[in-house]
Each structure stands twice: as C-alpha cells, then as structure tokens.
C-alpha cells in the first residue's frame, strides 16, 4: 500500500484517461471473449480499479467521466481545443456501457456534468474534500493535475509495466515542473502548450524555456511585464503571442468551482453487489477477476454465439478451462495471472505434497535461503512447481536439526532417478542441500545453462528471461527485502506467508521456461 492509512481517504478516478490507457495497453494482443467482443478496455480499467480498492483501501471513491460535449468554457473560447482528438475507437465505445455497469455493481458513484471535463469535476471535488478533512488521491496519468496538488491532495500515477505506481505531492510536482508552487504549473503549461489537447502555448517556448521563465518571473503575467529582458525571436514571439499565451493558460487551468455537490455518504466505498458483479463478469468472461472478487467460479457458455455458428446439440453449458488472457503489450504479473500458490506448513500437508511429487515426471524446485554464499546459506524454504500457475512452498524452520528433518522427509523426491528435477542455476541449490546431507540425483535440468547454450551472450537472470520469453514480470526480491545494499533485509527474517507467492512464482516461471528451452536445445544438437 502506497498511501497512508487514514480515516478519510478518497480516490477520484479519471475514467477516460484510465479506459484509454487500458485499451492501448492491450492494443497489440487484445483480449477477446467467445462472443468476439474486444473486452480489453473494460478488463484493463476494471483491473486497475480493483487493484486500487484492494491495495490502497480507500474509504471513499468516485469515477469521473468527461461530458460528451466537452468543456463549454474552453470550447467557446478556443474552438480548436482538443480538436485534434481522433474519434473514439469502436472497441472503447462498445465497452462504455459494460464499464458503467461494473462501476455500478461495485456501488461506486459515477460523476459527470454537462459542459465540464472530468478534470474540472475532480479538481472541484478534491478541493471540497480537502476542506472536509480528506486525503484525496487523483488517479490519472495526466500531468495537468499537478496544479491541484496540496498538502492533502495528491496525484496517484498508476504503474506501467516495470514502473510501479507512484504518488506525487507538492514536493514531487514542484520538482518535476521546477516551480515553487503547484499553481505555477498552469503558467508553465500555458507557455509550453500541449499538443495532445491542442493548447497552443507560445511559439518557440518549449518545456525548458517555460520552466526557466517561471523560475525567473514567477508567472506568465510577470514575464509579459519584463519582455525588455528578452532578445531576438524569443522577444518577438512572447510579445506577439501574449493573448494566445493567456488563452492557453486559461485552457490549462482546471476549474475548481463546478456546481457539483460533495456528499461524503454517497461517495463512501461500500461492499460490491456480488450478484451484479458476477453477472457482468460472466457476460464479459472475466473468469479470474470474478474469482478474485467473489471467490466464485463463473460458468461461461461457449456455445450459442459462436463465430462459425455451430450450436452444441444439447445446448450444454461447458466450463471453459482455458480462458487465458493472451499475451499483452504490458507485462503479465502475479496480479493478472491469479495462480494457485500454496503454503505447506504441517506434516499432513507435507505428506500430501510428497505423494504428489512422486507421481510426477518433471518437477521444478527452488530454494529460498539466507545468503548467496551456498556454502554457508541456511534454508528458509523450498518451492515446487510442476504445472503452470501452480506452486507449493514448504516452509523450513531456522533451527538446523528441525530443518534437516524436513529436508530429509523430501529425500525420496530428490534422490529419485525417474523424476527430472529442474532449477535455475541448480548448482547453487544442490550445494545448499548438500549442507543438509541431501543429494540431488540425475536426471536434472538447469534452465540457466540451457539458455546459455541457446544464447551465450545474453543476460541469464530469471527475471530477465521471464520478461523476455513469458512476457511476465515476477515479484521482485526487492519488494520483499528491500533494495540491494547494506540495508537490504534477509529472507530469514520474513514469515512464510510473506514468501509463498514470491517463491512459488520462481518455481512456476522456471518450470514454464524449461518447457520453452528444452525443444530449443534439441534443435541445437
């Protein structure tokens, strides 16, 4: 959770900004359901919304839409405002209703007012919320919002691919725009202009110059008073385009007195209407999301609306087992994949696991330890995976004798001459297990060596290979124990529950990579 825990925390979502973002993220490999609908926009938006609810736990929330006609004041004054915007793609338009249904099912108010952009409504609400003692987070990737930031109002920038989500407060905004006060952002933008929104700015003045001017003069008006300081073309432009500059400043200004009511009770975040959620998710075929929110499996009809018009003879409903989201332009993560990772902590669970292990022909394992020095590392746990998106993590106690007992228990697996044991840099794991007097028998497969033979000059780290071959971004170890360096924590200090996902994910991914590398190796020989 990035945001602090407070009594009054409100998130204001810039709907269209997030919807467009979701749509483009899936552009290269869109998510299509069995009815042939492109559900990417809805899926991405919903995912982002649910993520926020679960991660940041706001107490209040609203989703804000732009009015269809746009902002009257801006359009009146400058007809070309946002004129360069292309028409809304069909795949977004078709998802608007479903998205609204979803928001409704989650009991989250949707706000929109004729004649105003979402920015203005968000700005107004943010200021009102501040007066009522709220911490407000404006969820948008749009930098214009910088002008609204204050001690109690922040921008929450959603994560993108590798970059995690981040929060911008007064300090960050001032740093980014090189100003002393967030309101000066408007001056900067007014001078610089914005090609996306078709705000002209002052010709010849780009980001750098705009920032420089504001540092020197504090505002656009002051700049205009001091054009004597300027020379040549710049002076010409600033003097000749004063009106355009002021107009641009106005266009960039977010209105904070829109006639909308601020009703804390209405905006409170309540439990979703599970049935309604299930219904819409079933329609869109968001299987994993459904499970995440309601804990229930949805049943999707594959027949009926088939593209080739085939009707199942009995009109049966069938469980669609393989509703994977296809590879997306943005990376998959543990959040998008929703795997089944289990913590194994009791003798019965260990017994069951061993039984399962011994039935397999190939299993990937990964040790979690207290040090990179294999000769001295203590085991913290071992993860096993033999099926995509499934993993088991055996927690191992600190005390050596107790630890050895558990390792010994799995000896039949490690010494098996029929099960292929897979790992990434298996030499390390074998060396660690050697300390517990457990030998690892052939057959073995090392994904790091395998990839080395396929591409000797590439990076061989598991995280890199996961991103490259599986388009998947693993949980980083830094998320668990902090950044590299003196102050980095130690695996041994974490509780097993904190490690389960990270460890199982390692084993899971490595198992998947093995399936890719093995045939490649055969090609080489």
Rounded distance between C-alpha atoms, residue 386 and residue 508, angstroms: 7
> In the structure encoding, which two tokens stand for residue 59, read together?
């107490």
According to DSSP, the residues that pair with 391 across neighbouring strands are 341
> In the structure encoding, which two tokens stand for residue 496, read together?
């097993």
> In the structure encoding, which two tokens stand for residue 366, read together?
């990964």
Q: Binding residue for another protein (CB under 8 A) from 151, 163, 271, 442?
A: 442
- Contact range with another protein by CB under 8 A, out of 59-67, 72-80, 350-358, 454-462: 454-462
Least distance from another protein to the Cβ atom of residue 357, Å: 21
- Contact range with another protein by CB under 8 A, out of 157-165, 166-174, 338-346, 455-463: 455-463
| CB closer to another protein, 255 vs 449 | 449
Least distance from another protein to the Cβ atom of residue 134, Å: 53
- Contact range with another protein by CB under 8 A, out of 6-14, 294-302, 350-358, 448-456: 448-456
Least distance from another protein to the Cβ atom of residue 446, Å: 6
According to DSSP, the residues that pair with 382 across neighbouring strands are 367, 394
Q: Is 437 in the site for another protein (CB under 8 A)?
A: no
Which residues from 374-393 bind another protein, rule CB under 8 A?
374-375
Give the end-to-end CA distance of the chain in Å, rounded to a whole number.
Answer: 49
Which residue is it, tokens 């004649």? 115
Strand residues in 433-476 grouped as ranges (E): 444-446
CB 246 within 8 A of CB 227: no
DSSP conformation class of 21:
H
Q: How many residues belong to the site for another protein (CB under 8 A)? A: 23
Q: Is 417 in the site for another protein (CB under 8 A)?
A: no
Rounded distance between C-alpha atoms, residue 401 and residue 216, angstroms: 69
**In degrees, to the nearest 5, what angle opens at C-alpha 244 toward C-alphas 239 and 245?**
70
Q: Binding residue for another protein (CB under 8 A) from 173, 189, 280, 430?
A: 430
Rounded distance between C-alpha atoms, residue 512 and residue 501, angstroms: 16
| 3-state SS, residue 518 | helix
- Contact range with another protein by CB under 8 A, out of 34-42, 189-197, 232-240, 444-452: 444-452
Q: Is 519 in the site for another protein (CB under 8 A)?
A: no
Look at strands 340-344 and 135-139 and give their pairing.
unpaired
Least distance from another protein to the Cβ atom of residue 449, Å: 5
| CB closer to another protein, 311 vs 453 | 453
Least distance from another protein to the Cβ atom of residue 325, Å: 32
Which residues make up the interface to another protein (CB under 8 A)? 374-375, 425-427, 430-431, 434, 442, 444-446, 448-449, 451-453, 455-457, 460, 524-525
């Amino acid at each position: 959770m990035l945001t602090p825990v407070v009594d009054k925390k409100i998130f204001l979502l810039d709907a269209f900004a997030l919807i467009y973002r979701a749509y483009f993220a899936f552009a290269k490999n869109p998510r299509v359901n069995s009815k042939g609908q492109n559900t990417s926009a809805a899926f991405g938006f919903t995912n982002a919304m649910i993520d926020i609810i679960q991660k940041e736990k706001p107490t209040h929330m609203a989703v804000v839409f732009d009015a269809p006609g746009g902002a009257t004041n801006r359009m009146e004054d400058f007809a070309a405002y946002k004129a360069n915007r292309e028409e809304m793609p069909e795949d977004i338009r078709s998802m608007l209703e479903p998205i609204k249904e979803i928001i409704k099912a989650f009991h989250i108010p949707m706000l929109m007012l004729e004649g105003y952009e979402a920015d203005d409504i968000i700005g107004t609400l943010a200021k009102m919320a501040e007066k009522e003692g709220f911490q407000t987070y404006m969820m948008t990737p749009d930098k214009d919002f910088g002008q609204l930031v204050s001690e109690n109002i922040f921008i929450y920038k959603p994560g993108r691919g590798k970059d995690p989500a981040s929060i911008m407060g007064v300090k960050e905004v001032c740093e980014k725009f090189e100003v002393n006060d967030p309101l000066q952002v408007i001056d900067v933008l007014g001078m610089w202009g914005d090609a996306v929104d078709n705000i002209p700015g002052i010709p010849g003045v780009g980001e750098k110059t705009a920032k420089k001017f504001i540092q020197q003069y504090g505002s656009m008006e002051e700049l205009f008073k001091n054009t004597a300081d300027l020379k040549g073309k710049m002076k010409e432009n600033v003097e000749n385009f004063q009106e355009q500059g002021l107009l641009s400043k106005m266009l960039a200004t977010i209105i904070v007195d829109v006639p909308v009511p601020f009703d804390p009770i209405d905006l409170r975040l309540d439990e979703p209407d599970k049935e309604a959620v299930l219904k819409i998710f079933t329609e869109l075929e968001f299987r994993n999301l459904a499970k995440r929110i309601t804990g229930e499996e949805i049943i999707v009809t594959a027949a009926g609306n088939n593209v080739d018009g085939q009707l199942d003879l009995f009109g049966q409903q069938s469980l669609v087992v393989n509703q994977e989201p296809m590879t997306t332009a943005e990376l998959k993560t543990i959040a998008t994949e929703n795997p089944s990772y289990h913590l194994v902590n009791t003798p019965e669970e260990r017994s069951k696991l061993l039984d399962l292990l011994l039935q397999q022909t190939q299993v990937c394992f990964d040790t979690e330890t207290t040090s990179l020095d294999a000769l001295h590392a203590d085991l913290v746990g071992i993860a096993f995976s033999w099926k995509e998106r499934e993993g088991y993590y055996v927690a191992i106690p600190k005390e050596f004798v107790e630890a050895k007992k558990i390792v010994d228990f799995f000896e039949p697996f490690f010494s098996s001459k029929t099960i292929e044991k897979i790992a990434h840099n298996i030499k390390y794991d074998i060396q660690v297990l050697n300390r517990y007097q457990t030998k690892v028998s052939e057959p073995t497969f090392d994904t790091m060596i395998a990839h080395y033979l396929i591409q000797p000059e590439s990076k061989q780290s598991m995280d890199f290979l996961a991103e490259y071959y599986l388009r998947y971004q693993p949980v980083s170890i830094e998320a668990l124990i902090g950044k590299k360096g003196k102050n980095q924590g130690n695996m041994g200090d974490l509780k097993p529950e904190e490690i389960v996902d990270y460890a199982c994910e390692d084993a899971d991914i490595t198992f998947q990579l093995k399936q890719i590398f093995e045939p490649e190796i055969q090609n080489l020989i």
